[in-house]
Amino acid sequence: MRHAKTESNNPQGDKARELLPRGVQDAQEVGTQLAGLGLQYALVSSSTRTRQTFHALGLDVPAEFQDALYYDGSDTMLQRISEVDDDVTGLLVVGHSPTIPDLSARLSWASNPKEADALQCWFPTAAFAEFTFEGSWAELDLDDLGHISLQRIERVGSKPAGGITCA
């Protein structure tokens, strides 16, 4: 999941950017969709906006807030996901663009290449992608993602005018 809508800047820097009222509302709406997915754990970037997004979701799951999910890219994010205990069968990851859209596109490529392209081009704030796979979190490897299946993409708000186009 990408964090919800935020202020464009903050005097204390990018990491301190906070959610706008619309962002809180969007996250609450997404939380109702996520509530039925059986989530058991969350990995959340340490930024203010991702923490606020996670809290606004209203999910009763433990979370781990990680600086690496703020500072690093999709390779590190997948590494952190692969470190999750196998007792966890439902995981939420809350992060940023371009990392979330990039990793989502890479995970969905084998099961839905057309949607993978759309994910890379249009992954607005408060959007999430749901994936399933068989096996251990530790088996997730960017060189072998063929066993992962994109189940759905949810984007809060309206569709882009004129459809999805990549620049």
Does the pTM of the predicted model rise above 0.75?
A: yes
The overall average pLDDT reported for the chain is 92
Q: What is the H or E stretch that residue 24 is in?
A: helix 21-34
Percent of the chain exceeding pLDDT 90 equals 78
Confidence grade of residue 164 (pLDDT, cut at 50, 70, 90): low
Nearest by Cα to 147 from 103, 104, 109: 109
pLDDT at position 167, please? 55
Q: Partners of 152 in the beta sheet?
A: 130
- 59 within 8 A of 34, measured Cβ to Cβ: yes
Position with higher pLDDT, 56 vs 114: 56
CA separation for the pair 109, 115 (Å, rounded): 8
Domains, in order of start, for the chain: 14-154 (3.40.50.1240)
Q: Partners of 93 in the beta sheet?
A: 43
pLDDT at position 143, please? 81
Q: Is the pLDDT at 159 greater than 70, yes or no?
A: no
CA separation for the pair 65, 42 (Å, rounded): 8
CA separation for the pair 161, 154 (Å, rounded): 17
CA separation for the pair 46, 66 (Å, rounded): 5
